[in-house]
Structure formats: structure tokens, C-alpha cells
């Protein structure tokens, strides 16, 4: 078996039907942002600029502490009053609601007066596409997935043919635990991630190793570019959502395309058919030579598994050429999973054993 570096892309974008949060978790969801009142001397008031505030969204659904980052006489109090009237659903982590701090910005200027913070409300057209996709994938059942156990085949393609072929088993406990075991040619290899840590088992050398910073960073990038991260709203506060139009699909059809733009510059685009079917997801990265390369996942063969639809085929295209295929044979949702399978084994001999979820 060749190096695990060949198989890293599978783990990075592995499960499109996967949920990046547990069923008990949900992001801060802003429902309504009222515009501030106009100044009493509107029409003669010549101020123009942004009012920036740091806002605490409390776990009880009310606005807490407000910190003024900018000071604009005649405008700041109007912005503060409007902020107090924001309606939202609190962020939920592991069951109970929790407080969230966000920096937001109101802009004031003639002739229209105020504009509300764009970083708190998603693009309405893009948001409508997301809601349709969620319903296509199973609605509440899709949102309430806690674990996923899958088995299948993974192929690396080169020059139009299969360069290597592996069977795999993949276990996910949301939000941040994943273990993938590969078998082929009489050898086994494993990659496991838990939060900010990870380990790999190299079957060629029969060694268990800690993942390095680059590997962990790659895993996190895979989560941020995943379909489920988009649909579950965990980008909020770290990215902006926008609708960028329609693009050519298959058989003469055009797909709606939306984009996440992260604060660090990472841009991820997703395409959806008219009925909400996810079509593809793509982003650009730098290869080993420092060249920008487009990575694209194309989703196919959606199958209903207990009311949740999942793509049983995911084709990866690198720089426009197909580089791999994930072909699921079975997917199970919400099965019990033992934490022990994510623990780093003490030896290569122990790592050879098949995990028992």
C-alpha cells in the first residue's frame, strides 16, 4: 500500500451526508434585524459612516452587553436602540443554549439612511436554496443525525484508469470525531481525528503516528468546505453567504450556485438543482508546487436511508480531471458508537485490529 497521503482527500471531504454538528447543537440564528430610527434632523444631517458594535447574544434569547467600537455622535444611540430589538435563536452546544459575542456594523449615509448588518443575515436567495436542500435531504431527520457508520470502496484514478483500489469503513460521531480504516493488498491503514488532535496508522511500516499540523489543518479545511457545514450554518460569524447566479449543469440544465467567503479568504461554491438536490461543491487550494488548483466534489446516486437521503457516489475532480471516487455500499445513521475506537492505539499490533463501533 502506498502512503496515506494518497488517501487524505477522502477523509477531508469524506461524508457529504454527514452532519458537522450533533443533533443537540445549533448555531446562532438571527431572525430579524430592525433598522435604526432616522435622526431627528434627517435631511440636513450630513454624517456618513459605519457604527460598529460588539454584541452579546444571551442564552435566554435577549441582547446583553453592547460595546461601542466606533463613536458617532447623533447616530450611536439610534444603533444601540435598534440592536436591543434584534430577534434571534440562541446558539446551542451539547444541549443547553450558550452566549455568543459578535461584532456587527450599521452603515448610515444619504440618501437611504441606515442599512442593517449584512454579516448577521444571510443572502435571502441563498438562504432559500439552503432550506430547499435541507428538505430534499430529509428535513428534521437530516438535521438530527448524531452518528454515521459507512462502508464502501475508494478508488484513486489516474490517466482515465484506476490507479489504486481500497475498501473502507468510516465512523463519525458529530461534531468532531472521525475514524476511517482502509484495506487493500493485504495491508490496513487508519486515519482518526478528534477535535484538534489526530493519529494515523501506517500499515506499510506498522507504525502509529501523531498527525502533524498540516494534516490536522487539512482535515479542518475539509469540514469547512463540506456540504453539511454549509447547510447547518456553522459558517456564521466566520464567513459570508451569497448567491452568485446560475451555472451550466448536465443535460442543458442550469444549477443555482451559492458561495461561502471565509474571513481568511477561503471561498467555497456549491451548486444545487431546482428541486434542491446538491450537485457539487468546489474550492481552490495551493498544490506542492505553489500552483492554485481547483478541487470539486460531484454528488450522485442519492438513496433514501430511513428518511435521510445520502449520495452513494462522490466523484472528486482535481484541476478538471477526475482523481478519485467514493462508492458507498452501506450507510447507517444514529447507531451507538464507543469512544474507544477513536483512542490512539499503543502499538502497531493493536492498531491492526478492526474497530467495533
Dist CA 154 CA 7 (whole Å): 9
In a domain, 24, yes or no: no
**Whole-Å CA distances, 159 to 7, 268, 321, 324:** 18, 27, 9, 11
Q: What's the pLDDT tens digit per position in 77-128?
A: 999 999 999 999 898 877 789 999 988 888 887 666 888 776 776 677 898 9
Q: Same domain for 142 and 73? A: no
Which of 100, 104, 108 is closest to 68 using CA atoms?
Answer: 104
Q: Same domain for 83 and 189? A: no
Q: Same domain for 106 and 166? A: no
Q: Are 187 and 165 in contact (CB under 8 A)?
A: no
Complete DSSP assignment for 24-69: T-B--EEEE-PPPPPPTTTTT----EEEEEEEEE-TTSSEEEEEES
Complete DSSP assignment for 218-260: HHHHHHHTSHHHHHTTTTBTTEEEEEEEEEE-STT-EEEEEEE
Across 67-71, 79-83, 218-222, 308-312, least confident range: 67-71
CATH number, position 115:
3.30.2420
In a domain, 182, yes or no: yes
Q: What's the pLDDT tens digit per position in 214-266?
A: 999 998 898 889 998 888 777 776 788 889 999 887 667 889 999 999 888 89
Q: What's the pLDDT tens digit per position in 12-41?
A: 334 333 333 334 467 788 888 888 998 887
In sequence order, the 6+-apart residues with CB closer than 8 A to the CB of 55 are 63, 64, 65, 66, 67, 83, 86, 101, 102, 103, 104
In a domain, 149, yes or no: yes
The domain of 133 spans: 127-351
Q: Same domain for 151 and 281? A: yes
How many structural domains comprise the chain? 2
The mean of the pLDDT values for the chain is 86
CATH number, position 291:
2.50.20.10
Q: What is the pTM of this model?
A: 0.69
Pairing verdict, β 29-32 and 87-89: antiparallel
In a domain, 3, yes or no: no
Q: Are 53 and 80 in contact (CB under 8 A)?
A: yes
Dist CA 216 CA 196 (whole Å): 7
Q: Same domain for 166 and 76? A: no
In a domain, 26, yes or no: no
Amino acid at each position: 500500500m502506498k502512503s496515506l497521503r494518497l488517501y487524505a482527500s477522502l477523509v477531508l471531504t469524506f461524508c457529504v451526508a454527514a452532519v458537522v454538528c450533533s443533533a443537540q447543537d445549533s448555531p446562532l440564528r438571527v431572525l430579524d434585524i430592525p433598522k435604526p430610527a432616522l435622526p431627528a434632523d434627517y435631511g440636513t444631517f450630513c454624517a456618513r459612516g459605519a457604527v460598529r458594535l460588539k454584541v452579546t447574544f444571551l442564552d435566554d434569547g435577549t441582547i446583553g452587553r453592547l460595546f461601542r467600537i466606533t463613536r458617532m455622535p447623533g447616530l450611536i444611540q439610534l444603533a444601540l436602540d435598534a440592536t436591543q430589538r434584534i430577534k434571534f435563536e440562541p446558539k446551542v452546544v451539547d444541549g443547553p443554549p450558550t452566549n455568543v459575542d459578535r461584532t456587527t456594523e450599521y452603515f448610515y449615509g444619504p440618501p437611504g439612511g441606515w442599512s442593517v448588518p449584512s454579516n448577521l443575515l444571510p443572502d435571502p436567495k441563498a438562504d432559500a436554496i439552503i432550506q430547499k436542500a435541507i428538505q430534499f435531504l430529509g428535513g428534521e431527520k437530516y438535521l438530527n443525525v448524531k452518528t454515521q457508520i459507512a462502508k464502501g470502496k475508494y478508488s484513486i484514478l489516474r490517466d482515465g484508469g484506476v490507479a489504486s483500489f481500497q475498501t473502507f469503513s468510516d465512523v463519525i460521531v458529530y461534531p468532531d470525531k472521525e475514524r476511517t480504516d482502509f484495506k487493500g493488498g493485504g495491508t490496513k491503514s487508519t486515519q482518526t481525528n478528534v477535535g484538534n488532535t489526530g493519529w494515523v496508522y501506517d500499515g506499510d511500516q506498522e507504525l502509529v503516528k501523531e498527525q502533524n499540523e498540516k494534516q490536522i489543518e487539512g482535515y479542518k479545511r475539509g469540514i469547512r468546505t463540506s456540504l453539511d457545514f454549509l447547510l447547518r450554518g456553522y459558517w456564521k460569524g466566520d464567513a459570508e453567504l451569497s448567491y452568485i447566479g446560475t451555472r451550466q449543469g448536465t443535460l442543458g440544465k442550469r444549477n443555482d450556485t451559492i458561495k461561502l467567503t471565509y474571513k481568511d479568504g477561503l471561498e467555497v461554491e456549491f451548486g444545487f438543482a431546482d428541486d434542491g438536490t446538491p450537485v457539487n461543491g468546489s474550492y481552490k487550494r495551493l498544490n506542492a508546487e505553489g500552483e492554485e488548483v481547483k478541487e470539486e466534489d460531484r454528488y450522485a446516486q442519492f438513496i433514501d436511508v430511513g428518511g435521510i437521503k445520502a449520495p452513494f457516489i462522490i466523484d472528486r475532480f482535481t484541476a478538471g480531471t477526475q482523481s478519485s471516487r467514493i462508492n458507498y455500499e452501506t450507510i447507517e445513521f444514529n447507531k451507538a458508537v464507543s469512544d474507544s475506537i477513536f483512542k490512539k492505539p499503543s502499538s502497531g499490533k493493536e492498531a491492526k485490529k478492526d474497530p467495533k463501533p
